[in-house]
Chains A and B, each alone.
Chain A
């Protein structure tokens, strides 16, 4: 256990070094957030029937999404994928560690370190710097409290999805291409592009049960007060269920993939 913890910590500290990239990322994410907020405000201003979710809640969800953008499992672990391509994965096989667990803790670091760098300043900006009706306004103190376990759940779940994406490169060298297809699907289904709230009811109910909703939309609803704080229990349970299922799936695929791996000598 402590081995994996040390590996994760090392990776985490490495990723914390990319500070200039984080600064540029913050600027871009704030700009995108502003555009999104303007678009949604325009929709609300011209809505034929008033929507059940308040504008303040949706604006809050948008800013939260920009702040924790790095948690969304939009890519795999680049180093693992290039190891598959170059054959260096053979070194990994020689190590006395469980490969899936190693990759999973790396994914945990990948999802948290860059996000931590970006999220803190973005929270401060979104909470305090904008005019009142543009700000991030959490539902209540209780909402923020209830949101914290769902944030943890989102990270665990996202790392499981990330690891699955990295593993895909075991089966095809065209993993880049596969990722280009999965990335937009993941961002759409997680509610990043448009909150799942606005989908037609039948689609909404189905999408809420998929693992992707647990990565962003459901925690954001708890944070913004769209969902009651007590709903966090259900969200967390759903996140843990999907994490367990996807970890199991990932381990199975890894075992099968390693069974058929051929390392070229030389």
Chain B
């Protein structure tokens, strides 16, 4: 309880400091909004030119696109500290964190909460909303529940990836760009239904890096295609299991961390 209160105080301080630079905040948010809307313009152009993609119409693809963007935006906001964890190692800030009598992971989480991603939130939400209306689904309560579960599952899996990326900084601080392959590459892959990809990528995104939990599994189930309906409810549990694996790796890495002392 104490930890939660402290966490909330930390992030409210972080938000207030970001709001000190209003123009910069506004422009950066607008930038995130633009960059993610432009990706969707690309998809719309392709669908306009080619028609439906393997039988998926634009409304259905909007569901995949919107849900993955939204879960990525949530992850980027709350995992910001881990996302730029290499800086904590390089400038020695992490050593200060280790000295404080509070949970290490909580302090890294609380150190930065990025509001800028509000642009991606709005855009992801808008496209998801468009998908909800345009996909022609008669939404039942269980479908809505499944979609929310998919969002949670997606956030948990992305968070797990970022946690593993941060942990790798204990060994090398040069690996961050390589992890873009999994974060941004994973996000790119999730914009579309998984059945358009080759088998190996589909299996990798289901069983190794289970990003399917944040899109393909719940949405496929809701749309009644390929995925059996009850499986759609698995998303948050898959996500949680993956994040726990990431956390175990983090604890392992933490034991081996040695400060350079600078």
Contacts and interface: CB of A to CB of B under 8 A. Distances in A.
A187 interface: yes
A28 B49 contact: no
A180 B189 contact: no
B197 interface: yes
Interface in A198-247: 198-200
A179 B201 CA distance: 33
B185 A32 contact: yes
A263 interface: no
Contacts of B198: 38
Nearest to B182: A31
Contacts of B24: 174, 176-177
Nearest to B196: A42
Contacts of B180: 24, 28
Interface residues of B, number: 40
Given A38-B197, A181-B27, A24 B54 contact: no
Interface stretch (A7-15, A45-53, A150-158): A45-53
A179 B28 CA distance: 9
B177 A183 contact: no
Nearest to B47: A43
A24 B38 contact: no
Given A31-B185, A32-B188, A183 B39 contact: no
Contacts of B39: 193
- Interface residue SS majority, chain B: helix
A194 B45 contact: yes
A129 interface: no
A27 B55 CA distance: 32
Nearest to A200: B48
Given A177-B27, A183-B31, A51 B185 contact: no
B42 A193 contact: yes
A258 interface: no
B51 interface: yes
A46 to B, nearest CB: 5
B31 A180 contact: yes
Interface in B13-29: 23-24, 26-28
Contacts of A28: 177-178, 180-181, 184-185
A178 interface: yes
A252 interface: no
A187 B37 CA distance: 13
B35 A183 contact: yes
A180 B181 contact: no
Interface string A160-192: 000000000000001011111101110110000
Interface residues of A, number: 38
A25 B31 contact: no
Contacts of A24: 174-178, 180
Contact of A187 (B27, B38, B175, B192): B38
Nearest to A183: B35
Given A32-B185, A39-B196, A46-B55, A185 B177 contact: no
A194 B178 contact: no
A180 B27 contact: yes
Interface string A2-29: 0000000000000000001101110110
A47 B54 CA distance: 9
Contacts of B32: 180
A73 B177 CA distance: 19
Interface string B144-160: 00000000000000000
A198 B46 contact: yes
Given A31-B185, A42-B192, A43-B46, 16 more contacts: A24-B174, A28-B185, A32-B184, A32-B188, A35-B185, A42-B53, A42-B54, A42-B196, A46-B50, A47-B51, A180-B31, A181-B27, A184-B38, A188-B41, A188-B42, A193-B38
20 contacts: A24-B180, A27-B181, A28-B177, A31-B181, A38-B201, A39-B46, A39-B196, A42-B53, A44-B50, A46-B50, A48-B50, A51-B50, A174-B23, A177-B24, A180-B28, A181-B30, A181-B34, A188-B38, A193-B42, A200-B48
Interface of A: 20-21, 23-25, 27-28, 31-32, 34-35, 38-39, 42-48, 51, 174, 176-181, 183-185, 187-188, 193-194, 198-200
Interface of B: 23-24, 26-28, 30-32, 34-35, 38-39, 41-42, 45-46, 48-55, 174-178, 180-181, 184-185, 188-189, 192, 196-198, 201
Give the top 6 A-B pairs by smallest Cβ distance, nearest first: A177-B27, A180-B31, A184-B35, A42-B196, A24-B177, A24-B178
